Amino acid sequence: MSPERYQRISDMLAKRQTDLTVCIENVHKPHNVSAIVRTCDAVGIHRVHTVWEKKYKMRGATAMGSQHWVRATNHDSIGNAVCALKQQGMQILVTHLSDTAIDFREADYTRPTAVLFGQERYGVTDEAIAMADQDIVIPMMGMVQSLNVSVAAALVLYEAQRQRQIAGLYNTIHLPEAERQKFLFERGYPRLRALCMQKDLAYPHINHVGQIEANEGWWQQLQLSSEAVRALEVDEAAN
């Protein structure tokens, strides 16, 4: 991994917000899923949560453009997803028009927060609404009553980013060092990562200039010749 790539990844990881996330429920159109994940990456979200019923389930090969940079956790049900998020101390906001809904800009996103977004046509399920702590709405002044789900997600998440920037939350490192190390190796050395997966090897330490620190035994377990190791290092450094 080149020093420039290491620095860019490190800078990105330093701003990751582990206590801000989204949960997308039955959003099944690939371009919408991809757009939401890209926005999550852009505002510094480290992990997204998904729930798909069988009829909405996407094929495993469906690409989520920024999945290389944003972790994803799928849940069997919206109940399991919300329970897991609440166990992390997150408030649950849901985009839903109701008598108790507030303008999305009035919510406090400096708190640990998960925002639920629902299926393109029908929105979130009644179960999701019942489990949420607060309904939020995006004010509409025209004839249409809703925005595309990926557009709605972008508006809400950039308001969350705005509030968190003002509060200085992007100046504090949230990501645990173990997760940072894992991410640096996986994205900085994808070919070596694949070999580690094949051989069930632990990831090595990545030092402050982005280089692998591992003893000879680790390299031997990869069963690579010295020439092959040098070739891989050169190839990875060029990326």
Q: What local confidence, expressed as pLDDT, does residue 27 receive?
A: 85
Confidence of residue 156 (pLDDT cuts 50, 70, 90): very high
Map out the domains of the chain with their CATH numbers. 17-171 (3.40.1280.10), 177-237 (no CATH)
Q: Which of 10-24, 31-45, 217-231 has the lowest mean pLDDT?
A: 217-231
Q: Which residues are annotated as a binding site?
A: 95, 138, 147
**DSSP assignment string, the chain:** --HHHHHHHHHHHHT-BTTEEEEEES---HHHHHHHHHHHHHHTB-EEEEE--GGGPPPTT---TTTTTSEEEEESSHHHHHHHHHHTT-EEEEE---TT-EEGGGS-TTSSEEEEE-BTTTBS-HHHHHH-SEEEE----SS-S---HHHHHHHHHHHHHHHHHHTTGGGS--S-HHHHHHHHHHHH-HHHHHHHHHHTPPPPEE-TTS-EE--HHHHHHTT--HHHHHHHHHHHHT-
The pLDDT value recorded for residue 140 is 84
Binding site, annotated residues for S-adenosyl-L-methionine = 95, 138, 147
Model confidence, pTM:
0.85
Residue 61: pLDDT band (50, 70, 90) is: very low
96-105, 140-149, 160-169: which range is least confident on average?
140-149
